[in-house]
Amino acid sequence: MSLVGKVYQGVYEFLCGRHPYYRPWHFQWLFLRETHSWQRRQMKKFKGRVLDVGCGQKPYANWITPGNVCEYIGLDVNPGADITVNVGEKWPVEDKTVDCILLTQVMEHLGDPEEVIKEMKRVLKIGGIILVTVPFLHPAHGLPYDYTRYTQQGITNIFSNGFKIIENTTAGGFGTVMASLILTWIDGSMNANTITRILKGILLPVWLLLALTINLLSVILDFLDFTNTHYANVCVLVKKL
């Protein structure tokens, strides 16, 4: 990222919030609003040793109840995590030593999800919990490492062997999906070349107002969507048997 790009990113995060604490004028606010609300409620119940798979910078570490969790460990393929692993290798975590696993917005980026599920099952204690969130109707992102999308039924099938589904719900309706598609398209288009990136900076106030308007109108559309077929994310809680 260029110096100008870093300055813009810093200003944008100052005005709109930084993941996962987005404000309503952030272009991704609505896409993650219901998902993060559900995730925060579930993480408050976490106990014991927690493993955050695909942790990044561990943005959700503050959502646990400190007195209930004795250790919060981040695992990722990128350097900087508590545990750095290579794709396809066995994790350096002992069998049946983890109480809860967090797997948020990661499964779509797994070339071999069965291998990761096998590792999670190995390190998780009997009765241990896995919290999963994954996008369904959402643009391609994190390219070239974006491989698949999951419906509610697809997630159920993935965790059908040795696990019990405790909760399987969707987050975001038609409005959320439309807002996500429109706003990510605009954001991506404004990043297309040097000229559009300059315009993006100049038109930042307009961009924030547009994002806020689309987000708020799309909240209304969500209330009017009773189909449960046009959802943004799937949120699942599973227990190891």
Integer Cα distance of 169 and 153 in angstroms: 10
Q: Quickly state the pLDDT bin for 192 (edges 50, 70, 90).
A: confident
Report domain 44-55+68-172+230-240's class.
alpha beta
Distances (CA, A) of 1 to 17, 59, 199: 19, 22, 17
Integer Cα distance of 91 and 82 in angstroms: 12
Distances (CA, A) of 210 to 34, 154, 205, 218: 21, 35, 9, 12
Q: Quickly state the pLDDT bin for 3 (edges 50, 70, 90).
A: confident
Under DSSP, is residue 52 helix (H, G, I), strand (E, B) or coil? Answer: strand
At 95-151, the pLDDT tens digits run 999 999 999 999 999 999 999 999 999 999 999 999 999 999 999 999 999 999 999
| Helix, strand, coil abundance in the chain, percent, nearest 5 | 40, 20, 35
At 23-81, the pLDDT tens digits run 999 999 999 999 999 999 999 999 999 999 999 999 999 999 989 999 999 999 999 99
Contact 133, 233 (CB under 8 A): yes
* Residue from 168, 178, 94 nearest 138 by CA: 178
- 6 Cβ contact partners less than 8 Å away, ≥ 6 residues apart: none
Integer Cα distance of 133 and 98 in angstroms: 19
Q: Quickly state the pLDDT bin for 1 (edges 50, 70, 90).
A: low
Cα 44 → chain centroid: 17
CA 193, 197, 199, 204 dihedral sign is: positive
